[in-house]
């Protein structure tokens, strides 16, 4: 049997650290997650069965401290030239086991990228929050609270709207921000997180990027409240809910950076989320390949393995070909992120970088959803059988296609760059 490592990766671009990280996570996936994941759906509310997988990954193996500087007890990955590629490899390896664990884990790092990744390290905030993650005996989660009831796609559409539709407000009173607003859906909401990164506006209705703010809010702060987790089609390891901020007060220096740079780091957060999403999907497809290989090799049709029949070979050949291509372009998306300010010559908040990475995410989403559908066709009734794991990924990857502004925003941002659109 061929190994899923056969799928293409440009070895010249891989960081020396990545090989080790992949090995450690693969071991975690095979021992601590995959054998239990079929029970996760029923555990969506309690997380009793899911919790040990987080404990092992984030605390025992230490991945929740990865992004923090070494001076503060972390692994210093935020200072690495390979940081996007490491995030991609992590997303892929964890996503192979469970894309919801992958998103809950990576979103813990997501808002912190604004203050931990070169060239925008905010040392005062890094020192403030590092002990929470670095010294913890239990998983510590964070959330990035962008989406609001009036629409998440518009909030992420910084290139056109510049934060104009945000209704969550921050008012400076003395040396404190006072925050009011209502957010929906963030990964790790519903009582999971210890820290929120809150995109908000200091002047409602303004599209001036100087009025856009990212403010860190510890969830134990008075005035923060959250709803119960939503019950979704899948992704049980990720809890999502409503969050309300009612005159929530935090120190003024809990703002990520200040006027201008907050909007820029928010625009940079988008490629982070997209590259991780691509990794979740290629990871799920690596697992699709493992399960499909087993199925078409062991099931027979007219006394021959299924894979030796022309009609089946045509389908599985296309699936494997798509996985190979998606991995190549996924890696390229991560490399675009890592080339920021260097060979590529473009900072990652640039419209070209955002448009191209969104385009790759949309492309890989389509291919992933399509290929899980095709695999279901090959497995027939077994495709719907939880024992084969395909239906779990099939439910989960559809959700990945929908988040972060959905297909339309990906298409609009690609069109804006490639066709110089000015009004979308
Ligand atoms: C599992 C999961 C995890 C999530 N995690 C997070 C998270 O960590 N943080 C967070 O803030 N949010 C999170 N979300 C929310 C998600 O990012 C939003 O649902 C998404 O951005 C779309 O926003 P919306 O639902 O408000 O839809 P809307 O923005 O209201 O859009 C509704 C529909 O209209 C389309 N649309 C929007 N604008 C246009 C346009 N101009 N032209 C054509 N069509 C358009 C959209 O693509 C969508 O199909 C998560 C959602 C899920 C399901």
- For 8-25, the DSSP string reads ---GGG--HHHHHHHHHH
Q: Does domain 262-419 have CATH number 1.20.140.10?
A: yes
**Whether the CB of 406 sits within 6 Å of ligand 1:** yes
Which residues are within 8 A (CB) of 316 and not within 5 positions of it... i.e. 6 or more apart? 292, 296, 307, 378
Res 341 pLDDT > 60 = no
Mutation to probe ligand 1, out of 106, 147, 242, 395 (largest number of atoms < 8 A from CB)? 147
**Whether the CB of 403 sits within 6 Å of ligand 1:** yes
Cα–Cα distance between 178 and 180 in angstroms, integer? 7
The rounded mean pLDDT for the chain is: 95
Cα–Cα distance between 127 and 124 in angstroms, integer? 5
Q: Tell me the DSSP string of 311-378.
A: HHHHHHHHHHHHHHHHHHHHHHHHHHHHTTTTTT---TTSHHHHHHHHHHHHHHHHHHHHHHHHHHHH
Cα–Cα distance between 134 and 340 in angstroms, integer? 28
**Whether the CB of 144 sits within 6 Å of ligand 1:** yes
Q: What is the pLDDT of residues 224-279, one digit of tens each?
A: 999 999 999 999 999 999 999 999 999 999 999 999 999 999 998 999 999 999 99
The Cβ of residue 310 has, within 10 Å, a number of other Cβ atoms equal to 6
Q: What is the pTM of this model?
A: 0.97
Atom of ligand 1 nearest to the CA of 146: 11
Which band of pLDDT confidence, cut at 50, 70 and 90, is reported for residue 345?
A: low
- The average pLDDT across 25-34 equals 98
Res 338 pLDDT > 90 = no
Sign of the torsion formed by the C-alpha atoms of 171, 176, 180 and 183: positive
Cα–Cα distance between 214 and 197 in angstroms, integer? 6
Q: Which CATH number fits domain 4-140: 3.40.640.10, 3.40.1280.10, 3.20.20.10, 1.10.540.10?
A: 1.10.540.10
CA 162 / ligand 1 centre spacing (Å) = 17
**Whether the CB of 399 sits within 6 Å of ligand 1:** yes
Residue 254 token pair? 């809990």
Strand ranges in 185-324 using DSSP code E only, listed in sequence order: 193-201, 212-218, 224-226, 242-251, 300-301, 304-305
CA 106 / ligand 1 centre spacing (Å) = 19
Report the candidate in 102, 81, 107 with the shortest Cα–Cα distance to residue 92.
Answer: 102
Which band of pLDDT confidence, cut at 50, 70 and 90, is reported for residue 353?
A: confident
Atom of ligand 1 nearest to the CA of 147: 11
**Whether the CB of 146 sits within 6 Å of ligand 1:** yes
Cα–Cα distance between 370 and 375 in angstroms, integer? 9
Cα–Cα distance between 28 and 136 in angstroms, integer? 20
Residue 119 preceded by cis peptide, ω within 30 = yes
CA 239 / ligand 1 centre spacing (Å) = 16
User: Torsions phi, psi of 60, nearest 5?
Assistant: -60, -45
* Strand pairing class (193-201; 224-226): unpaired
CA 152 / ligand 1 centre spacing (Å) = 5
142 and 107 Cβ atoms separated by less than 8 Å? yes
HSE, CB side, 13 Å, CA atoms: give it for residue 101.
Answer: 36
Which regions of the chain carry the CATH code 1.10.540.10? 4-140
**Whether the CB of 408 sits within 6 Å of ligand 1:** yes
Which regions of the chain carry the CATH code 1.20.140.10? 262-419
Res 304 pLDDT > 60 = yes
For residue 50, what are the CA distances in angstroms to 46, 78, 100, 180?
Answer: 9, 28, 10, 33
Which regions of the chain carry the CATH code 2.40.110.10? 144-259
- The average pLDDT across 17-23 equals 93
**CATH architecture for residues 144-259:** Beta Barrel (2.40)
* Nearest protein CA to atom 16 of ligand 1, as residue: 403
């Amino acid at each position: 049997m061929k190994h899923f490592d056969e799928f293409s990766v440009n070895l010249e671009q891989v960081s020396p650290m990545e090989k080790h990280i992949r090995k450690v996570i693969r071991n975690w996936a095979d021992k601590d997650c995959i054998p239990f994941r079929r029970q996760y759906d029923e555990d969506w509310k309690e997380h009793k069965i899911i919790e040990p997988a987080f404990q092992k990954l984030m605390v025992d193996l230490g991945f929740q401290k990865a992004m923090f500087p070494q001076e503060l007890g972390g692994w210093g990955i935020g200072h690495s030239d390979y940081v996007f590629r490491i995030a991609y490899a992590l997303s892929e390896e964890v996503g192979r086991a469970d894309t919801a664990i992958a998103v809950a884990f990576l979103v813990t790092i997501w808002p912190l990228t604004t203050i931990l990744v070169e060239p925008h390290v905010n040392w005062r905030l890094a020192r403030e929050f590092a002990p929470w993650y670095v010294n913890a005996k239990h998983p510590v989660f964070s959330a990035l609270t962008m989406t609001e009831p009036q629409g998440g796609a518009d909030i992420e559409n910084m290139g056109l709207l510049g934060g104009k539709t945000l209704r969550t407000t921050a008012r400076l009173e003395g040396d404190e921000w006072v925050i009011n607003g209502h957010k929906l859906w963030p990964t790790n909401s519903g009582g999971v997180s210890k820290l929120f990164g809150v995109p908000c506006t200091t002047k409602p209705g303004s599209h001036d990027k100087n009025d856009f703010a990212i403010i860190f809010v510890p969830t134990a702060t008075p005035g923060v409240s959250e709803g119960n987790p939503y019950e979704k089609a899948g992704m049980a390891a990720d809890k999502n809910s409503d969050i309300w901020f009612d005159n929530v007060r935090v120190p003024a220096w809990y703002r990520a950076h200040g006027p201008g740079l907050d909007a820029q780091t928010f625009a940079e957060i988008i490629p982070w989320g997209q590259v991780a999403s691509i990794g979740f999907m290629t990871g799920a497809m690596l697992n699709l390949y493992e399960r499909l290989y087993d199925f078409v090799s062991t099931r027979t049709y007219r006394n021959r393995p299924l894979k030796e029949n022309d009609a089946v070979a045509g389908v599985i050949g296309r699936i494997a070909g798509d996985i190979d291509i998606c991995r190549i372009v996924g890696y390229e998306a991560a490399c675009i992120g890592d080339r920021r300010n260097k060979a590529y010559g473009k900072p990652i908040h640039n419209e070209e970088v955002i448009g191209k990475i969104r385009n790759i995410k949309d492309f890989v989403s389509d291919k992933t959803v399509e290929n899980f559908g095709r695999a279901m066709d090959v497995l027939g009734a077994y495709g719907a059988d939880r024992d084969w794991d395909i239906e779990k990924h099939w439910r989960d990857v559809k959700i990945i296609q929908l988040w972060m502004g959905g297909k339309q925003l990906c298409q609009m941002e690609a069109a804006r760059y490639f066709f110089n659109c000015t009004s979308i």
